[in-house]
Structure 1
Amino acid sequence: MNIPGRSCPLDYNIDQSLFAKKENDIICDTVYIVGGLYGNYQALEEIDKIVKSEKSDCIIIFNGDIHWFDKDYEDFVRIENFVRTHIPLLGNVESELIRDKDINVGCGCSYPGCVDDDVVKRSNIIHQEMKDMVDINSKIKDEIKKRQKICIVKVGDKRIAITHGDEKSLAGWECSRENLLDINRQNELISWFKDNDIDVIASTHTCAPVALKLENFAVINNGASGMPNFKDKHYGIITRISKCKSEKAIYSSKIDYIYIEALAVNYNINEFVDWFDNVWPNNSPASISYRERIIKGTADNIEDAILSGFEIN
């Protein structure tokens, strides 16, 4: 039985043969990976500044959940007009926005049992409000339907697999901290890296950042680019993978000559809160679920995100 917000649709499964198709690799010197923007336009403006200051040949991949708080048409389109000029992938938010027939999976987050039922219910309501808007705008749906679940970027001779959840499913949770601490999961990933000639997997989805180096491979989950990730820190986080080192990295690691880094997105918090409160007033589903995090950050410290092989800068 499908439980809205907890079930993972079968069509979220990722075809494993896609990881081996090297002819589709995107080649660049630097890739920025922006997961979990959640409709935060102020964060998007800051990301644009960060990327424009880059001196190397770089690209931006938006690996899903680009939208969330931007339920109003004008706000949604403002985000879309920017991301479509780069490389946007599907997250569960977008996948359920474009689903024509309701299969009772709600927001498609596939929340694990540790997430409270009320949080899940509110997420379904938030998503439905956005879907009601998208359903009457066919051009938006047609644009999003073109997006893929994964892409492979090649920086130097390193292949980076970019997805929303994990290597198995668009809404998979196996790149969460809890799962990555499991030695069996670590061994599974090492085998997967070797079998698919992949050096790094970059994900998001869980809304909590995590970084792990395994032998000469790495997993990096940026948490959220459009919301705070740490205690008393207002910034979002994006992933940067490059031939050259950034002086702005919060924490980083290195595989041979390739740098894998987490960068802060110091967006204008006051402007974002004003906008958020206007769209999601007090006692609305998003306000109840997210406003405290937006104002105060989470309960995590930066050290909590690093499992092994990364250093705080």
Structure 2
Amino acid sequence: MTKTAGRVCPLAYRYGAAALARAPERVVDTLYVVGGLYGNLPALARVSALFAAERGSAALCFNGDFNWFNVDEASFVAINEVVLANDAIVGNVEAELVAPQAGAGCGCAYPESVDDAVVERSNRIHARLQATATRHPAIVGALAKLPMFARYRVGEAAAAVVHGDADSLAGWRFAAAALDDANNRQWIDQAFTAAAVDVFASTHTCLPALRSFGDGRQPRVVINNGAAGMPNFAGEQDGLLTRIALSPSPHPTLYGLRAAGLHVDALPIVFDGGRWQEQFLANWPPGSAAWLSYFARIRNGPPFSRQQAMPPACQPPV
């Protein structure tokens, strides 16, 4: 049975967890992981301000899907110029801008639980973004040089930054529901061992999660920041980023935990929501593909709670 475009996971996306163990390693005191920016310029400005307040050796890594709604020339250039001046890996959005795979559509590899209409609209959004990208070959060329994953050492701990999951660029096994699925536990344990890391930082699923699978001898953490450029919780407007560091955050955190000598936290990205809605509607007016799929979330947040993102062991700081 042939899968619909947008539900396909191209073979080129599959790297396997063992590849993460062989990746070059950058040593830092603080790591910001920003996934799912989705072309949101006000959110990017806030991320830059948060990162500027950090001290010591620090890295800002955009882990894919920093493009999406930014189909106008100015924001496409502005987003990519900032991202490409920092560490970055591709998401499926960028991978399909660089080298479109037959039948992949947007490259999201949506599971069957996602409605066909959402998948079809995502393909239309990506096609419009692709048209913008073709007018900027230098940016596309720079995106083509980005890896699918990155590896860092923060103190004594190793962290793998991925877009999807430990095996695939568009994998969904770091979604909150998958992380809580007992049938997925063996794969999770094997992924940590194969990748030789203490922390996985991901995005892709567009909803956040923080889970600990370790013990006192071998801390193991998965943190998914959900979306930097869209609301993550019902009734809330903020984006989220992941901070992994030796020191406590100089900024407020929503939730987090300590593991392997690290502070692993979700930081809110409090951006100008009114300005962002104006920019979004200029490109995606009512009735457009992105408006139908995303504007209700941009205005009201998704049907998802902080309690779903963080289990009892990951209580917010007091």
**Alignment TM class, shorter chain as reference:** over 0.9
Correspondences of 1:1-313 after superposition (within 5 Å): 1-21=2-22, 24-99=24-99, 102-215=101-214, 216-246=219-249, 247-307=251-311, 309-313=313-317
Q: Is the 8 A contact 1:8 1:110 kept in 2?
A: yes
Retained in 1: the 8 A contact 2:17–2:191? no
Please give the alpha-carbon distance, in whole angstroms, between the structure 2 residues aligned to 1:2 and 1:132: 24
Q: Distance in 1 between matches of 2:16 and 2:185?
A: 21
- CA drift at 1:15: 4.3
2: distance between equivalents of 1:221 and 1:39?
19
Identity value in percent:
35
CA distance in structure 1 between the partners assigned to 2:247 and 2:302 by the alignment = 31
Partner SS state of residue 206, structure 1: coil
Question: Which deviates the most, 41-50 or 186-195?
Answer: 186-195
CA contact (8 A) 2:18 2:194 kept: no
Summarize the Cα distance change of 1:229–1:90 in structure 2 as closer, same or farther, 3 Å threshold: same
Other structure's SS at 1:38 match: coil
Q: Aligned partners of 1:308 and 1:150: how far apart in 2? A: 30
| Residue 99 of structure 1: how far off its partner (Å) | 1.3
C-alpha RMSD over aligned residues = 1.3
Counting matched residue pairs gives 311
How many angstroms apart in 1 are the aligned matches of 2:165 and 2:79? 25
Q: What is the CA distance between 1:132 and its match in structure 2?
A: 1.3
| Aligned mates of 1:94, 1:69 — CA distance in 2 | 13
Amino acid of the structure 1 residue aligned with 2:236: K
Note the C-alpha offset of 1:2. 4.0
State whether residues 156 and 260 of structure 2, in contact with CA within 8 Å, keep that contact through their aligned partners in structure 1.
no
47-56 vs 303-312, greater mean Cα deviation:
303-312
SS in 2 for 1:76: helix
| Aligned-residue offset at 1:231 | 1.1
- State the secondary structure of the residue aligned to 1:311: coil
TM-score by length of 2: 0.95
Structure 2: any 5+ residue segments left out of the alignment? none
The superposition leaves residues 172-215 of structure 1 with CA deviations (integer Å, 9 ceiling, x where unpaired) of 00101121111231232123213432100000000000110001
Q: Is the 8 A contact 1:181 1:307 kept in 2?
A: no
Q: TM-score, normalising length from structure 1? A: 0.96
Once residues 92 and 195 of structure 1 are traced to their aligned partners in structure 2, the CA distance between those partners, rounded to angstroms, is 23
